[in-house]
Structure 1
Amino acid sequence: MLERTTTSVDGYRTVSHIEESDLAIDPNTDTDPSLTETLLASYAACYTVALRIGAQQRNVDGLGRVEIDAEADRDRENDLEAVREELHADVSIRGNAFRNG
């Protein structure tokens, strides 16, 4: 079971306690990320981890730095409308790591 606690004392600022860290989210400040910024970063983080898991499952040990540039469009209500991600990776692959069969 996965459980997390998120607290809001005043306004729109929330603090989520995750493991030994606190993640503060506030759409009304320049110091804390907004909800949509946090969601966009989560998309990129999930994709990065999935890429590393896929490489590991194919015995690719030459996957170095992975970087995702993510951007999103918002609609008139300020909700996410589209998300785009661009992948940058330092990769050194030898052998038949991505060969089927």
Structure 2
Amino acid sequence: MSDIETSTVSEEGFASTSQVGDFELTIDATGEEGPDPNQVLVADYASCFLPAFRVGANKTGHEDLGKVQIDADADIDDDDDLEAIRFSVHVEEDVDDDDLEEIVSRAEDICHVHSALREGLHAEIEAHGDAF
């Protein structure tokens, strides 16, 4: 038995519906009925990196970062493939640059999506303390 099982169905066209546990997600290659696969991947990456960032912060003595927001943007090449992803991490807590660097490094080691992506596609990450 697998650790993760999903079922993805497309009745017609380029939209598909994925069943992930109790959740349903519509993804559309054309972006008409839902986000396209590249958008979902970037959002998934950020959604994995954010809790990893919090865990990394806990391990460096920053137990309450307050609000954390990741603004992600990505570049697509002529073949519609992702070629670059960038994260801008905004942290409510006033955290100095050295600690932010250490937190980012720890988060990169913790985030499963970061580990799964080919090295050339890992997000370029900048983090901002006292951002709100």
How would you bin the TM-score normalised by the shorter chain? 0.7 to 0.9
Q: 2:85 aligns with which of 67, 83, 86?
A: 83
Q: How does 1:19-30 map to 2 (within 5 A)?
A: 19-30=21-32
Code of the residue aligned with 1:8 in structure 2: it is S
Instruction: State the structure with more CA Rg.
Output: 1
Query: How many residues are matched?
Result: 95
Percent of aligned pairs with the same amino acid:
35
Of Structure 1 and Structure 2, the greater strand share is in 1
What RMSD in Å do the two structures reach over aligned CA positions?
A: 2.1
Of Structure 1 and Structure 2, the greater helix share is in 2
Q: Which has the higher contact order (CA 8 A, sep 6+)?
A: 2
1:60 aligns with 2:68: no
TM-score (norm 2): 0.63
TM-score (norm 1): 0.80
Unpaired runs of at least 5, structure 1: none
Unpaired runs of at least 5, structure 2: 101-132
| Shift in CA distance, 31/11, structure 1 to aligned 2, threshold 3 Å | closer
Code of the residue aligned with 1:64 in structure 2: it is G
Cα-to-partner distance string for 1:31-73 (whole Å, 9 max, x where unaligned): 4100010011111111112101212334432111111111111
Code of the residue aligned with 1:56 in structure 2: it is N
